[in-house]
Amino acid sequence: MRYLTDRKRAVGLGSAKTGVHHFWAMKVQSVALLILIPLFVFTFGGILGSSFEEVTAYYARPFPAIVAALTLVVGFKHFADGCQVLIEDYVHGTAQKVTIILVTCLSYGAMATGLFAIARLAL
């Protein structure tokens, strides 16, 4: 019989050393979205219902295009990170890895599509 201390039994079973980084990334993204979402609503709300020509002229200006792009990037990154936490909590095994990959691909795909649409409007 091996005599192991509690510390020796716990070695290798602890933290993966990424929890604090993930926590702070989510907090920074939340604060960024706290600023970006009202900016996006006020910049997008003013042009809502306008003609295509007015919308393209509006998004040709840098401020609305940058606000919309930042909101998309930060929002979808926050979505991916939040979904990853949920998946890690409730899905296990190979399904966990596959689901995280699918959600990450979905998030980056939606982000790229939104950025492409903004670029088409702005240019």
Burial profile 106-122: b = 16 or more Cβ within 10 angstroms, e = fewer? ebeeebeebeeebeebb
Provide the token pair at 28.
């920074």
Residue with tokens 């926050």: 78
Q: What is the pLDDT of residues 65-114, one digit of tens each?
A: 999 999 999 999 999 999 999 999 999 999 999 999 999 999 999 999 99
Determine phi and psi for 84, rounding to 5 degrees: -60, -40
Q: 19-122: which CATH topology?
A: 3 helical TM bundles of succinate and fumarate reductases (1.20.1300)
Reported confidence tier of residue 32, pLDDT bands at 50, 70, 90: very high
- Average pLDDT rounded to a whole number, residues 29-33: 97
> Is the CB of residue 31 less than 8 Å from the CB of residue 78?
no
